[in-house]
Amino acid sequence: MMREFESRDGQMMIGGVSAASIAEEFGTPVYVTDEQRVRENYRRIHGAFSRFMDTRIHYACKANTNLAILRILEQEGSGIDAVSIGEVRTCLKAGFTPDRIMYTGVNVSDRELKEVSDLGVMINLDSVSEMERLAKIAPGYPVSFRITPGVGSGHGAKVITGNKGAKFGIPLDEVVGTYARAKDLGFDIKGIHAHIGSGGQSAEPFSEMMEVLIGLADEIAELGIDLDFIDMGGGIGVPYRPQEEEMDVEELASVITDMITEETGIGTLILEPGRYIICDSTVLLTRVNDVKDAGTKKYVGCDAGFNTLIRPAMYDSYHYVALANKFGKACTAKYDVVGPICETGDYLAHDRVLPDPTEGDIVAVYNAGAYGFSMSSNYNSRPLCAEVLVNDGKAELIREAETVEEQWRHQIIPERLRK
């Protein structure tokens, strides 16, 4: 089931703090993350798999790279799935040692390969081209390969990555040849990786992918290459709708780890969950600026739009919304919840029943932790918003809201155009 929040005197509570008081203290829009929920999610997924075999969780930090959140996961013992030099350096800054980070880039430049290998972070290669280039830059480097398993899954076409013909990974019929070539080039080959996509809600694609990976690992073993790990990527979905079932991760763990028998010689399983760890730990709070009855539709106009949370506009993603300061009150009519961006596609939620929304109310957008802040932008010259961490009845600022002045910082007016 979708995560629910405690109600106290008609107020939504998160981490023991009332959402409306956070909005009052820190301003809106604001992302609010519940520290304990992050820890629980990490422990639940790690516990489910590590009961059966040695398991490393590499948090896919593209979901949210806030340093304070990274600190929490570093304390929990997590590793990192990083996609760029920026993410690698951010995680090092947050205290992760290089051996806990794995870099899985796509269409990577030589410069970035050099920077990542200089830092000693393991590289998961996405293509033959990348392998040949890395062989020159960092001979003998520890690597694994992302393969295209021919199995895809996800909440929508834009986030399915493992299907045949995808832009990601080594095509299936080239995998064994590529490992042979990597051995000839003298790489220190550690493992095999695949990622089917993001936000899928069914377990079957994971076992189908695992079957492909294990078949390949057998063939690779015949080349005299012993793999230390299989990495099954991320992609475990979470419920975004009130009655939606959650994926049974205990069951998933049992099925997947059963498949990795002793004969495979593979001792470690790696998972790269982003959404599963951070999604339901966070709500986006946005203030109602304007309420409009447009005849055929009623609008609740908020201070967060697709500049702050792009998932509805970009993927048609559903996010549950509630009025944090009228929590649990009877609903009166249907509204579209929309933002301050000058585009019709700027919406947070369509056709939601809400309890008589009025100016000044606080809308809580649920499940905003994964790919919420990290995909936000300055569109319409709106500053990036603040992030707050709640724990044990206390709220702390973990990112200041940007200022407009900061948006000018890197811009240059040529002398001849100056006033």
Binding residues (CB under 6 A) for ligand LLP: these are: 60, 62-63, 81, 104, 159, 195, 198-199, 233-236, 272-276, 311, 315, 370-371
Token code pair at residue 294: 């447009």
In the bound state with ligand LLP, the residue whose beta carbon lies nearer, of 169 and 355, is 169
Residue whose CB is less far from ligand LLP, 240 or 335: 240
Nearer of residues 100 and 195 to ligand LLP, judged by Cβ: 195
- Distance in Å, CB of 333 to ligand LLP, minimum: 29
Q: What is the CA radius of gyration of the chain?
A: 23
| Of 397, 385, 161, 370, nearest in space to 277 by CA | 370
Which residue of the set 61, 91, 342, 385 is catalytic?
342
| CB closer to ligand LLP out of 279 and 364 | 279
Nearer to ligand LLP by Cβ, of 18 and 282: the residue is 282
CB of 88 to ligand LLP, least distance (A): 14
Structure tokens at 149: 């398993």
Distance between start and end Cα atoms, the chain: 59
Number of other CB atoms surrounding residue 77 within 10 Å = 12
Contact 224, 186 (CB under 8 A): no
User: Measured from the CB of residue 159, what is the shortest distance to ligand LLP in angstroms?
Assistant: 5
What type of residue is 212? V
* AA identity, residue 40: E
Min CB(106)–ligand LLP separation in Å? 8
Least distance in angstroms from the C-beta of 290 to ligand LLP: 27
Toward ligand LLP, which CB reaches closer, 12 or 309?
Answer: 309
Choice between 159 and 324, CB closer to ligand LLP: 159
Cα dihedral 245→239→329→361 (10° resolution): 180
The answer to whether residue 342 is catalytic is yes
Minimum gap (Å) between residue 194 Cβ and ligand LLP: 9
Rounded to a whole number of angstroms, the minimum distance from the CB of residue 254 to ligand LLP is 19
Tokens matching residue 295: 């005849």
Pick from 104, 141, 9, 16: nearest CA to 391: 16
User: What's the CA gap between 398 and 401, in Å, rounded?
Assistant: 10
CB of 270 to ligand LLP, least distance (A): 10
- Partnered with residue 347 across adjacent β-strands are 338
Can you give the three-state secondary structure of 248-272, one letter per residue? CHHHHHHHHHHHCCHHHCCCEEEEC
Residue number with CB closer to ligand LLP (45 or 337): 45
Q: Name the residues annotated as catalytic.
A: 342
